[in-house]
Amino acid sequence: MLTTNKNILAAACFAALVSGCNDNNIQQQNDQENQQPATFSPVEGTISQLHAALAANTTSCEAVVQSYLDRIDAYDDVGPELHAVISTNPNALAEARALDEHYAETGEMDSLHCVTVLVKDNFDTDDMATTAGGLAMQFNMPPDNAFTITRMKQRGAIILGKANLDEFAFGYEGSSSIEGQTKNAYDLERGPGGSSSGTGAAIAASFAMVGTGTDTGGSIRIPSSVEGLVGIRPSLRLVSQDGIVPLSHSQDTGGPMCRTVEDCAHLLDAMVGFDSSAHSGQRENFAYDAPLISSPFLYQIITGVPHSYTQYLDEGALNGARIGVVREMFGDGSEQQNQVVQATIEAALAQMQAAGAVIEEVTIPKLSEIFERYKSVSRYEFCNDLTDYLGSWSELADGHHLSFAALAASFDYEVRHQQYFYYYGLFCGDQSANEDYQLNQTERPTQVRNALMQALNNVDDAGIPLGQAYDVLLYPTMLGLASELGQAPLAGDNNRLSPFSGFPALTMPAGMTNSEPQLPVGMEMLAREFDEASLIKIAYAYEKMAQPRQAPSHTPAL
């Protein structure tokens, strides 16, 4: 008969009358013996798990980076052929080795130490082409990194590669002339959403730890919704636009796309910050003609950026949280997929309420009028913005096109986008006399922001309180599920509120469908300007309680 370690230790303590030896000592030794060293798996791996494994010396940064490159090799252009990645960083392994050496010498890890990031291929990097998915930009080699890329690398991140996208960030189908059609990681017959399609599919399939997208009208949140991710569209003036291929400077922003809220909080920490560049888009007021913020001090006063968004990771944050549910944005239920979305989010709301959240219905004043009267201004800004971007560096050795007109005339892009280049080309030059453009730049911000604040503050038209204010407004990210491959999804208008107002929005999985295969259903929360903290608190608490995300089955561990 075998004698347990506990029995041996107890007998020894009794016989020898060892001073201080008691049940606590016995339990302590058992805990130490049973505790396994932290390890790391790239599949669904998190930043905290990575850092624990590196600290335990059970892996190295070089091994981690290689594991993600292996997954891309195994699943992106072969196997399920997700076509989520346009290019990989030729310096990634060398950077990983340098981080290993740094850690061995100093024992120090920054917040993104060895965190692999796949960035949408409209973020400038100085070691890879920035193509925006178009063959017309395949030789586009900007001389430096985007502001946000520099910030990530300063914190130890490794830019693993560039993710596919709906070419030039035009739409939701998710295909480009460079890499072709991205597939949904959960169902290879369905689309990935867009325009940050490659980032969405790649992070869902664990091709990297985290990713970045850009969002003009819904391009972070829609692919995050159909790929089971957390996606954050930050407050519009929070993240610098410098070094990001533009679609519409007055609506564009970059943001994180991750498998967990905690990882998105870490990545958002790195993406925010004052940028002195003339291309930052960080204006003193929410107005397209307002002056740029002139100093880090003024940026901090205006935005109130915290030391770290991770300080809001509170598992108990649902208790007492006030959530205003906008039923008018749930859809009419005429489509079966809309019924599935509604039912999944209703179940999520019930769980939130059981955890102590106050769930009440709220109305956004004149919501239908907002959606009917106002529209995206990308059609009026893309020509001028792209020309400004292409002319923003003087080194011409890469031979890149220098203007919208030159790029459009090349026809080196998908045939379906010829109509976009023709139409957008009609609005090159001064738009000051364009009444529709001016309406959306002057009237729209005031009307939409006031309507959202009335709903969030829970007051009537006269400003009289109807009850306590809400922390966030909640509604479906999309009215439907992932679409058939090559088709635009049933997105609806919900994604327009954040860009129209400049307020931040976060999408996350509410749950999974009961279909085979199971598909993610996203729900979106919107908060006051620069109140990303409320979004992160509530999303983190729900994620920890409900565990709504499930990994896709087509890209298992190698």
Helix (H) or strand (E) holding 551: none
Query: Quick one: DSSP state of residue 475?
Result: E
Pairing mode of beta strands 505-512, 472-476:
unpaired
Query: Quick one: DSSP state of residue 167?
Result: G
Structure tokens at 553: 């089955």
Structure tokens at 360: 């009440």
Nearest to 238 by CA among 151, 324, 156: 151
Alpha helices (H) in 40-194, listed in sequence order: 47-55, 61-75, 92-106, 147-154
Hey, what amino acid is at 346?
E
pLDDT of residue 397: 75
| CATH architecture assignment, domain 63-376+437-546 | Alpha-Beta Complex (3.90)
Nearest to 476 by CA among 299, 226, 286, 288: 226
Say how far apart CA 50 and CA 241 lie, in whole Å: 29
Alpha helices (H) in 391-525, listed in sequence order: 404-410, 418-425, 435-438, 444-457, 497-501
Cβ-Cβ contacts under 8 Å for 86 (sequence gap 6 or more): 121, 131, 133, 161, 162, 163, 164, 176, 178, 179, 198
Say how far apart CA 305 and CA 272 lie, in whole Å: 8
φ, ψ of residue 88 in degrees (nearest 5): -110, 155
Query: Quick one: DSSP state of residue 325?
Result: E
Hey, what amino acid is at 460?
D
Say how far apart CA 47 and CA 51 lie, in whole Å: 6
φ, ψ of residue 128 in degrees (nearest 5): -145, 150
Residues forming a β-bridge with 256: 212
Per-residue CA distances from 408 to 422, 425, 433, 483 (Å): 8, 8, 24, 29
3-class secondary-structure state, position 477? coil
Could you tell me what percentage of the chain is helix, strand and coil, using 3-state DSSP and rounding each to the nearest 5?
40, 15, 45
3-class secondary-structure state, position 104? helix
Query: Quick one: DSSP state of residue 3?
Result: P
Per the CB < 8 A criterion, the answer to whether 162 and 197 are in contact is no
Alpha helices (H) in 231-278, listed in sequence order: 261-271
pLDDT of residue 27: 52
370 alpha-carbon distance from chain centroid: 26
Pairing mode of beta strands 322-325, 358-361:
parallel
| Domain positions in the chain | 5-34, 63-376+437-546
φ, ψ of residue 79 in degrees (nearest 5): 65, -125
The 10s digit of each residue's pLDDT in 178-234 is 999 999 999 999 999 999 999 999 999 999 999 999 999 999 999 999 999 999 999
pLDDT under 50 in the chain at which residues?
Answer: 1-23, 26, 29-30, 32-33
Per-residue CA distances from 138 to 76, 211, 393, 399 (Å): 19, 21, 16, 10
pLDDT of residue 90: 97
pLDDT of residue 35: 74
Q: What is the pTM of this model?
A: 0.93
HSE value, Cβ hemisphere, 13 Å, CA-based, for 357: 30
Say how far apart CA 451 and CA 448 lie, in whole Å: 5
Query: Quick one: DSSP state of residue 79?
Result: T
Say how far apart CA 174 and CA 524 lie, in whole Å: 21
Nearest to 314 by CA among 46, 532, 534, 111: 534
pLDDT of residue 34: 56
Omega of the bond leading into 517 within 30 degrees of 0 (cis):
yes
Say how far apart CA 404 and CA 260 lie, in whole Å: 38
φ, ψ of residue 168 in degrees (nearest 5): 60, 20
Q: What angle do CA 323, 324, 330 make, to 5 degrees?
A: 115
Helix (H) or strand (E) holding 322: strand 322-325
Nearest to 453 by CA among 467, 439, 473, 477: 473
